[in-house]
Amino acid sequence: MKINLKPPIDLCKVMRITLSQLFIAFVFSGVALAGTTKAQAVLDSAVDLTVKDMSLDHALRTLEKQLPVKFVYSKTLIETDQTVSANFHNRKLSLVLDNLLTPMGISYRLVNGMIVLSRLRTTLSTIQGKVTDSTGTPMPGVTVLLKNSNKGATTDANGNYSLQVDDLNGILVFKLIGYQTQEIAVNGRTIINVSITIETSGLQEVIVIGYGTTTRQNITTAVSKVDPKKIPTAANNSIPDLLFGRAAGLQVTQQSSQPGGNIDISIRGKGTPLIIVDGVVYPNSGLEPTNGVSTELQGVNRGLLAGLNPNDIESIEFLKDASAAIYGVSASNGVMLITTKKGKAGRMSVTYDGSRSYVRNMHYLEPLNAHDYMQYFNELNKDKYLSDRNMAPFGTVATDLSGYTAKFSDDQVAKAGVGTKWLDQVFRSGSVDNHMLSINGGSDKVTYYFSGSYFNQQGTLKESGLVKYAGRMNMSFKLNKVIQFNAGLNANRNNYQNPQAGWQNGGSGTQGFNALQAALAYPSYVPVRDATGKYSIFANTGNPVSLFDIQDNTLYQAMLANLSADITIIPGVLTGKVLYGNNSEYSNRGFYIPVSVYYGQLYKSRAALVENRRQNQTEEATLSFKKSFGKVLKVDAVTGVGQYLEDYTGFSVETSNILDPINLDNLASATGPKTIGSYRGVNKLRSFFIRSNFDFYDKYVVALTLRRDGADKFFPDNKYQNFPSISVGWKISNEAFFHKGSFVELLKLRASYGTTGDRPGSAAYGSYGPDANAVTFDNGATIYFPYKQTAFTNPGLQWPIVKTFDIGLDFSFIKDRISGSFDWYNENKERLLINATTPQLSLISTSPINGGHQRRKGFEFSLNTVNIQHKNFSWNSTFNVTHFENRWVERFPNDAVRQYEHLDDLVASSPSGNTYPSQVIYVYKTDGILQANAAVPAWQPTGATKPGSPIFVDRNGDKILDYHDVVGYSAIPKAVIGLGNNFTYKNFDLAIFLYGQYGAWGYDYTTLWGDPVNLLSLNQSGTTRIKQAWSTSNPGGTLPGAAYNETAIALDAGIDSRLVKKDFLRCRNITLGYTVNTKVVHSLKVYVDVQNAFIITGFKGVDPELQAASIKGGPAPYPMIRTFSFGVKAGF
């Protein structure tokens, strides 16, 4: 029998080492006894040895030169690259070797003139302890090393570590990015607890860029970073909630404060940026179904990123200049990079963060009470009676009130009192319950992060709210030294009660009002219910309380999956990555008006079901190269290919005349007509990209990028476009001629130039679709639906191009106690795409064309300071300011420029419909109110010549009111600012953050509720603004009276009567916390937070940020809210 035994690899290695030692011992064993006396003489020989921080190998070679002896050892067992220091003079060799080798765990013996070294068989000792920060909070992820060895460990989630060492005389080194490295002598101890402090310099702060990372010290482009962990999240359900005023170049506006309300995010005043979550393209718009076409209750105004939990986010970076060029055609509005939290190796850590918030409405419109409504209605109605008949003082006819009867008698007015407080009928106190549990940990092979969250907001408008469930999983599996597999999954389910707020979206008037509009429209003298117990009805508007019987709910659910594999080809030099991401969304809206609800001047049941689906897929493969060539050059390069797919579908059905008990459960049972609609679409992009960063001598940094994108929208000759960029940085503070001393940490000048593109919305290809009108034959027996051309073929259509130049300065002084940056930029957007009007008699009204040229200029500045830093007290401040403007350089050929406009006017960066909206508001100015018996200026327009009309300003004094008298006001703020202060005292922390804007103008359309004309229409009530209206009873009034109807003034520009300044400074958060550490809970923080604590503004309407459209009657935006939160955060 023949048996083959193959020992394990590790055993073979050990056997080879052992046999080599045995062979050496055997060769010299024969002469060992004979040479004992000689050997002892060698060890007693006197030697000299003086070395400092030299390798052990160098020390041994020094001894060999003094004696006829050679040192023999295996480099596998003996680490001779360890550094040693010694100073011996005329000492025995044995004494020198004992002092030199024994602390290293090395033994020796002399055999035939050779000294054989071997490893001592020693008993390992265990050193353990805990690492905390200056507040006592455990610090996970701290690297603990035994100096001059390869032994090390990492602290777990509780800050604990354990390390085995050969002896207890070494030095432990504690390292963590962002904290000062500490060296602690062991000195025989087995328990060593350490407190680490924050590194005063943040120059090594990691910043995420396109397909990689860099540091603040080496970045060559304009990138802003936001750390969500430093921002209160108690009352916030989405990521945009965290961004107000937090970064230079970022403009964030609260357009609606309804649960999940829309928050507009803009980089340098442009449109919504491209969003990347962990490398996966994420939609930059919400997926919101309508509620059909027959009703106008479209009060939903929600925003993006609704599926993510802000507590799951590690960092957010904004690429503002050429840094965005690596994303090519989709990056003209900049890029928002979101990185989620990942697991960390160490003991499992469990964190709970929970809060309860109490929500109250801030300032809102104030309706007239019953007494005031009747009084002012009578006064203004009498004036209108006189004006309509040209009676004095509104005309030359003698006053005769014999035919006039007041709507309300003096007795009714006197007894009216306050009446029904309609806003109290629709408003309520709101609340927010926000709870999250996260688990993370792992080993050197597997790391994990799991979280689950529950968010429940009860809106301050009745029947409005949001319940959101979200969960996240991030895991990494290190299969071997070559491959690491990563998986991420985010799932959410949002249930919305859609609010009855906002405004009607069609052409209807008061009959289309929602509940909040109706509450402003119903006079206070009208009761909620009439004498029979039924809901009262005023004019043609539904009862505000009854409108809450309308069912309007939206379900939104999404799943974001991210799978990737990291491949190590050459360790530390060459790596590869393959990524697939899929974001799949579904939304469903159910809308039902019961037959018992009066709406749209009807008692009629109406129903609609609408579904939308959207899927975004990201497929990428990249190859990364990092290499340092001594102190001369560091290279960081990445190249890759990608494909990006978007597909979307939708379906809707709308009908009427359903039994209320059936509701939406069986629309087929409806006896009314059924309207069915559907749609489908696909978009595809393919890309190649490369980025290379070169750092020469740690002084000069050059970054080059190129992306080549192809889209399915264009013809082959124009399908692909290159988007290159270059950026350079000069670290002046690292130059030999620059003496930094202790004052300057960093002084870096940088510049960048790059191109990006606008993702096309219009296709160059022609299209066909069914005509809405059927063609019948044989007396209706045969029906055909003809197809017609709906879009022209346009083979010359090309990509819009954005060219950006940016120059910036980064600085850090006094050990990073003062740091910041300044950027100035010039951006040119050329070859814009817009749907232009086609020639006359064309079957198609518009067709896409290229044209136009816009230029955006601006600057931004950020400053961070450590004002006070003591053991028990610290005070840090942050400040940023942003300024931008976007102007026409060349307009489209079909643009009709009005006489008072300028060719280089301010303009929006994104089109609306078939035009780019102007950002200049042109108006005729007014100054005061025309009084009774006063001379009427010759230039007053027709319809504004009676008392109570505004006096128009003849700016040039030519006695004519024309375009020369028009004044322009910018709708773009001159400055957007953010200001924060953070204080700590022992275990207490206090944070105060404010943001605001200056210099923007806009129309306040909520003033429509205070117009006499609307009050007297008998269709709606009014607000207390009506008290400022001029009347014969109130000749000191400062607002137009009943004889003036603005809509009847035929002028070629607007009027400044509703124009207001939108300056404000808002206190976004005031947060007070207290942190303690216990044996059971390693970190326990209790906190209180006030969000929207106060606002400083001259704006008199609802809120300077909220949207309010110009519609019939008046808009009723969801009120801005203030929250008071009480929370606890605990780590186990």
Q: What are the two backbone dihedrals, phi and then psi, of residue 547, each rounded to the nearest 5 degrees?
A: -65, -20
**How confident is the model at residue 21, as a pLDDT?**
41
On average, the pLDDT of the chain sits at 90
- Determine which of 198-202, 465-469, 816-820, 1040-1044 has the lowest per-residue pLDDT on average: 198-202
Write down which residue in 93, 119, 145 finishes a domain: 119
Same domain, 226 and 110: no
- Region class of 719: left (phi > 0), else alpha (psi between -120 and 50), else beta: alpha
CA end-to-end span of the chain, whole Å?
61
Angle, helices 56-64 vs 93-101, to 10°: value is 170
Is residue 623 exposed (0-12), middle (13-18) or buried (19+ Cβ within 10 Å)?
middle
- Determine which of 345-349, 362-366, 979-983, 1020-1024 has the lowest per-residue pLDDT on average: 345-349
Reported pTM? 0.83
Question: One-letter amino acid identity for 380?
Answer: L
Write down which residue in 327, 345, 363 finishes a domain: 345
In a domain, 1070, yes or no: no
Encoding tokens for residue 601?
């001047």
Question: One-letter amino acid identity for 339?
Answer: T
Range of the structural domain that residue 147 is part of: 125-195
Of residues 101, 107, 153, 104, the one with CA closest to residue 130? 153
Query: 162: domain CATH number?
Result: 2.60.40.1120
Q: Which has more confidence, 586 or 23?
A: 586
Same domain, 173 and 278: no
Cα separation, 957 vs 951, in Å, equals 14
Buried b or exposed e, range 1037-1076, using 16+ CB within 10 angstroms: bebbbbbbebeebebebbbbbbbbbbbbbbbbbbbebebe
Percentage of residues of the chain with pLDDT beyond 70: 94
Quick one: average pLDDT of 816-824?
95
Question: One-letter amino acid identity for 136?
Answer: G
Q: Is the pLDDT of residue 98 over 90?
A: no
Same domain, 272 and 154: no
558 half-sphere exposure, CB direction, 13 A CA radius: 26
Same domain, 48 and 108: yes
Same domain, 166 and 213: no
Write down which residue in 195, 218, 246 finishes a domain: 195
Quick one: average pLDDT of 929-935?
94
Quick one: average pLDDT of 446-467?
96
**How confident is the model at residue 4, as a pLDDT?**
39
- Determine which of 218-222, 290-294, 988-992 has the lowest per-residue pLDDT on average: 290-294
In a domain, 164, yes or no: yes
Beta carbons of 274 and 336 less than 8 angstroms apart: yes
Q: Is the pLDDT of residue 43 over 90?
A: no
Same domain, 76 and 137: no
**How confident is the model at residue 643, as a pLDDT?**
96
Same domain, 182 and 214: no
Q: Which has more confidence, 135 or 376?
A: 376
In a domain, 163, yes or no: yes
Q: What is the DSSP string of 681-705?
A: EEEEEEEEEEEEEEEETTTEEEEEE
Query: 63: domain CATH number?
Result: 3.55.50.30
Cα separation, 666 vs 660, in Å, equals 11
Let me know how long the chain is: 1132
- Determine which of 495-499, 640-644, 782-786, 862-866 has the lowest per-residue pLDDT on average: 782-786
- Determine which of 415-424, 455-464, 903-912 has the lowest per-residue pLDDT on average: 903-912
Of residues 856, 855, 859, 857, the one with CA closest to residue 823? 859
In a domain, 38, yes or no: yes
Number of domains in the chain: 3
In a domain, 657, yes or no: no
In a domain, 135, yes or no: yes
Bridge pairing between strands 744-757 and 767-770: unpaired
Same domain, 321 and 225: yes
Is residue 880 exposed (0-12), middle (13-18) or buried (19+ Cβ within 10 Å)?
buried
pLDDT band at 1001 (very low <50, low <70, confident <90, very high): very high
Angle, helices 93-101 vs 36-43, to 10°: value is 70
**How confident is the model at residue 200, as a pLDDT?**
47
In a domain, 1116, yes or no: no
**How confident is the model at residue 990, as a pLDDT?**
96
pLDDT band at 5 (very low <50, low <70, confident <90, very high): very low
Query: 297: domain CATH number?
Result: 2.170.130.10
Beta carbons of 148 and 83 less than 8 angstroms apart: yes
pLDDT band at 741 (very low <50, low <70, confident <90, very high): low
Q: What are the two backbone dihedrals, phi and then psi, of residue 385, each rounded to the nearest 5 degrees?
A: -60, -45
Cα separation, 329 vs 140, in Å, equals 41
Same domain, 37 and 153: no
Q: Which residues contact 9 (CB under 8 A, 6 or more apart)?
A: none
Same domain, 165 and 220: no
Q: Is the pLDDT of residue 688 over 90?
A: yes
* Distant-in-sequence contacts of 252-257, Cβ < 8 A, 24+ apart: 252/995, 253/1105, 254/1103, 254/1105, 254/1106, 254/1120, 255/301, 255/303, 255/1105, 255/1106, 255/1107, 256/301, 256/302, 256/502, 256/1106, 256/1107, 256/1117, 256/1118, 257/1106, 257/1118, 257/1119, 257/1120, 257/1121
Quick one: average pLDDT of 677-689?
93
Alpha carbon separation from 62 to 49, 70, 336, 1085 (Å, rounded): 7, 11, 60, 60
Number of H helices and number of E strands within the chain? 9, 56
Same domain, 241 and 329: yes
Same domain, 131 and 54: no
**How confident is the model at residue 457, as a pLDDT?**
97
Quick one: average pLDDT of 917-939?
95
Quick one: average pLDDT of 453-479?
96
pLDDT band at 729 (very low <50, low <70, confident <90, very high): very high
Cα separation, 314 vs 228, in Å, equals 7
In a domain, 562, yes or no: no
